[in-house]
Amino acid sequence: MNTLHNERLFRFISESPTAFHAVETARRLLTEAGYKELSEHEVWKLLPGGKYFATRNHSSIAAFRIPVSPYSHFQIIASHSDSPAFKIKDNGVLSVEEHYSKLNVEKYGGMIASSWFDRPLSIAGRVFVRTEQGVKEQLVNLDRDLAVIPNLAVHFNREINSGYSYNFQKDMPVLIGDCRRKEPLRELISEELSVSPDDLLDMDLFLYCRQPGVQMGSDQEFILCPRLDDLQCAFSSLVGFLASESSETAVQMSVIFDNEEVGSQTRQGALSTFLKDCITRIRDCSGKSVQEHLAALSRSFLLSADNGHAVHPNHPEKSDVSNRPYLNGGVLLKYNASQRYTTDALSASVVKELCARNKIPYQTFSNRPDIAGGSTLGNLSISQVSIPTADIGLAQLAMHSACETGGAEDTESLCRLMTVFYNTDIRLLSDGGFTFA
């Protein structure tokens, strides 16, 4: 079994404990590949054949390539950088009887709370530091086993195995020390960054699971790793983007949004103008008229990449009776009649034909009609940039657990599809069909 893609995936996820770090990891990969960083604070000057990227909030990133010839359309893959986690509150250190220091936290996104107990955890995020030159933003990762959310012993909660409703204020604060430090969080951050605690103005800090990614199973056919949703798709989109060739006719883009897990309604989320603003700047630098640009958008295509649910071995009844994806079954094509997923017959046909021509396995996902599913970013993104879109991803188990399970063969399948997507000139026709070039 080819493990190279999973080894690279595990390294990417290990380097990306928060959305800020995921974007920094992507930024490094793009810079090493010769892409030029642009600032939203400045006027862009884009050249034919140029390779660029820009970030917003340092937690979303958009990379793109300009064709040498005037562009005729856009081909875009969108994913997201964030995962469910616990965010540390301001004034977050609590003392218990002068013997324990714990952190007051609030949940970010819809996690499985029980999966966070009794695991080695650490802290990462960004801080704003006062310097002689002004206030500076810095990433921080206390990259060691640092904290734990201890379970209450079964002797004190005899009903724990009969079902328990967690109170996030009472049950989820995080043990970080024994009160030897007066301000353990600020002291640890200041020591890590070699700054004075008094110069730390504010912080966006999250707990993250320290479990390293591993292959497992009787034949190493599964993977177990934190944050597969959605860093597996973000990683695969970057792999496909960097492994593919520049198009002669299309602007190729890989966009990773933040805040999908909390609804995307932020200035760096899929509902923001980030993608639209980047595309508008590309249009202005290319000298296209509004009419020409709108015609190009109508010929464009977007893949919204976010993982979905595999048939569960202990609860197979939770899956749809006829759309039953499994681990190692290939790329997931996701449908929903209420358009929580954007896939329709046109966009599905594009994906199916790409897979068929390149012998890439795929499978279909739809929720049971009596079980509400989650949402994703595709239908939100196209409210800002309205182009034909398919929702894809990979099947996984235990979505939104502190550790999630996937298929060891599936990462390669998604990387292949995304590489093929960029290497294929997809031409949507006015009569509703399409051709490949």
pLDDT band per the 50, 70, 90 thresholds, residue 1: low
Question: What is the pLDDT at residue 305?
Answer: 97
How many whole angstroms separate alpha carbon 385 and alpha carbon 375?
A: 18
Structure tokens that stand for 176 in this block: 């970080």
- The predicted model gives 319-344 an average pLDDT of 94
How many whole angstroms separate alpha carbon 256 and alpha carbon 138?
A: 20
Report all structural domains of the chain as residue ranges with CATH numbers, in order of start: 4-83+226-436 (3.40.630.10), 87-209 (2.30.250.10)
pLDDT, tens only, 283-323: 999 999 999 999 999 999 999 999 999 999 999 999 999 99
Question: What is the pLDDT at residue 432?
Answer: 86
Question: What is the pLDDT at residue 9?
Answer: 97
Q: DSSP secondary-structure letter at 114?
A: G
What rounded mean pLDDT belongs to the chain? 95
pLDDT, tens only, 360-412: 999 999 999 888 777 788 888 888 899 999 999 999 999 999 999 999 999 99
What contacts 219, CB < 8 A, 6 or more positions away? 1
Question: What is the pLDDT at residue 339?
Answer: 84
Question: What is the pLDDT at residue 371?
Answer: 83
Question: What is the pLDDT at residue 163?
Answer: 85
Q: Are 65 and 47 in contact (CB under 8 A)?
A: no
pLDDT, tens only, 221-261: 999 999 999 999 999 999 999 999 999 999 999 999 999 99
pLDDT, tens only, 190-217: 999 999 999 999 999 999 999 999 999 9
Q: Are 244 and 354 in contact (CB under 8 A)?
A: no
Question: What is the pLDDT at residue 378?
Answer: 83
Q: 234: alpha, beta or left, given left = phi > 0 and alpha = psi -120 to 50?
A: alpha
pLDDT, tens only, 81-105: 999 999 999 988 888 898 999 999 9
How many whole angstroms separate alpha carbon 288 and alpha carbon 187?
A: 53
Backbone angles phi, psi at 72, to 5 degrees: -105, -20
Question: What is the pLDDT at residue 382?
Answer: 86
Reported in sequence order, the residue ranges of 51-120 that DSSP labels E, i.e. its strands, are 51-56, 60-65, 73-80, 85-96, 100-108
Residue 377 CB coordination number (10 Å): 25
Question: What is the pLDDT at residue 181?
Answer: 86
Element (H, E) at 435: strand 434-436
Question: What is the pLDDT at residue 76?
Answer: 97
pLDDT, tens only, 39-78: 999 999 999 999 999 999 999 999 999 999 999 999 999 9
- Please say if the pLDDT value at position 25 is more than 70: yes
Cα distances (angstroms) measured from residue 153 to each of 117, 118, 150, 255: 12, 11, 9, 45
pLDDT, tens only, 347-357: 999 999 999 99
Q: How many helices (H) and strands (E) does the chain have?
A: 9, 21
Question: What is the pLDDT at residue 2?
Answer: 64
Element (H, E) at 410: helix 410-423
Beta bridge partners of 407: 222
- Candidates 274, 275, 213, 242; CA nearest to 405 is 213
How many whole angstroms separate alpha carbon 417 and alpha carbon 241?
A: 11
Question: What is the pLDDT at residue 338?
Answer: 84
- The predicted model gives 407-419 an average pLDDT of 97
How many whole angstroms separate alpha carbon 256 and alpha carbon 54?
A: 11
